[in-house]
Amino acid sequence: MGQGEPAKAPPPRRRAKRGNSPHARRHQDRSYGALDLGTNNCRLLIARPTPGGFTVIDAFSRIVRLGENLSTSGRLSDEAMDRAVGALSVCSQKLRRRNVTLARSVATEACRRAVNGRQFIDRVRRETGIALDIIAPQEEARLAVLGCHTLLGPGDGPAVIFDIGGGSTELVLVEPEGREPKIRAWWSAPWGVVSLTESEGREAIEGPDRVKAYERMRERARRGFARFAEWLPKDRDDIRLLGTSGTVTTLASVYLQLPAYDRKQVDGLKVPTDSMRDISTLISELDFSGRAALPCIGEDRADMVVAGCAILEAILDIWPAAELGVADRGIREGILRSLMARDGHRL
């Protein structure tokens, strides 16, 4: 299963004019908000435009596991919804405190799939005042590309940008064209770190045959990407790869042997893909306590990181670039750029 298209790009967005327009200057001090409620995380950014970009003035991130047990029940559980509403209440307070006048809040795979997703959206609006927009996979992929494409390595060859989420993984094939890359194909596969972990089962992942469980997850993910793989150009030696997700930033931290996560060192890093495979193999062989003991993984990520590694290796199998670009940015940054460009800011 999955959703995608081989060549149809989303409708083009109006480019900001060169130089800030009078309309943009009137809104120079406006604060913009971008909220992304995923299957696993709730993340918020609040920023103000600056020449050529923006400055983040507030941020929030919390693991809420909204999609916990969704793959088996088809519903968002009461406990998961309570956790998400608690995090969204914090976001609502920050948006008010920062006097944000223009914001966009999106929900992705968990709310798309859950039979009670719409009821949850209504509850969020009643209790927090936040109006969540359940976006389609194509829009999710577009925003991720818009938010991180500037970190693509130099070159004229095709590139794959991917986002490993909690409930799905978005892959986008892009080629250079002007200031923003042109989307040639996109695909949304139904495997994310939460759904793949639950599909395999934690007992198998932690058991004595956990390496075999890892290979099964990797093969599941690879099958999920098979249609997208058919659209990829063959026999190219100048291909590029960029990933945005907790999986790639976590593995990049392990690669750097950081004692604690440091966005400044991770965002924009280029890592040899052979090194990423070696780290994935190490993680697949460790038990929960061994993974939790690794700096920048800890107990919060130790159970889901194995599935993330399996998905990453499946991507490397179909797109064997020499190095992986790492982005600690994505949907939220894409939202901010869209909102600011709409006000005439040149980004």
Look at residue 156 in the predicted model and tell me its pLDDT.
83
Look at residue 21 in the predicted model and tell me its pLDDT.
53
Looking at this protein, which amino acid is placed at residue 335? I
pLDDT in tens, 109-161: 999 999 999 999 999 999 999 999 999 999 999 999 999 999 997 888 899 99
Model confidence band, residue 1 (pLDDT cutoffs 50, 70, 90) = low
257-264: average pLDDT: 94
User: Which residues, 6+ apart, have CB-to-CB distance to 142 below 8 Å?
Assistant: 10, 172, 183, 186, 334
Look at residue 153 in the predicted model and tell me its pLDDT.
78
Residue 12 pLDDT more than 50?
no
Residue 295 pLDDT more than 80?
yes
Contact status, residue 181 vs residue 149, Cβ threshold 8 Å: yes
- E strands present in 39-189: 41-50, 53-63, 102-107, 132-134, 159-164, 169-175, 182-189
| Calpha distance 37→204 (Å, rounded) | 29
Residue 62 pLDDT more than 60?
yes
Question: What residues does each domain of the chain span?
Answer: 31-135, 141-327
* Among 303, 325, 300, CA closest to 312: 325
Q: Which two tokens stand for residue 275?
A: 């090194």
Superfamily of domain covering 31-135: ATPase, nucleotide binding domain (3.30.420.40)
Contact status, residue 324 vs residue 271, Cβ threshold 8 Å: yes
CA distances from 179 to 8, 149, 182 (A): 19, 10, 9
Q: Which two tokens stand for residue 196?
A: 């793949």
Look at residue 177 in the predicted model and tell me its pLDDT.
77
Look at residue 14 in the predicted model and tell me its pLDDT.
43
Equal fold, 31-135 vs 141-327 = yes
- Which CATH number applies to 141-327? 3.30.420.150
Q: For the chain, what is the mean pLDDT? A: 91
User: Which residues, 6+ apart, have CB-to-CB distance to 201 below 8 Å?
Assistant: 213
**DSSP-derived secondary structure letter, 150:** G
Look at residue 26 in the predicted model and tell me its pLDDT.
54
Model confidence band, residue 28 (pLDDT cutoffs 50, 70, 90) = low
- DSSP secondary structure string, 235-264? S-SS-EEEEESHHHHHHHHHHHT-SS--HH
| Calpha distance 243→326 (Å, rounded) | 5
pLDDT in tens, 64-122: 999 999 988 999 999 999 999 999 999 999 999 999 989 999 999 999 999 999 999 99
Look at residue 10 in the predicted model and tell me its pLDDT.
44
Residue 30 or 326, more confident: 326
Look at residue 239 in the predicted model and tell me its pLDDT.
94
Residue 2 pLDDT more than 90?
no
Are β-strands 3-5 and 53-63 bridged in parallel, bridged antiparallel, or unpaired?
unpaired
Residue 23 pLDDT more than 80?
no
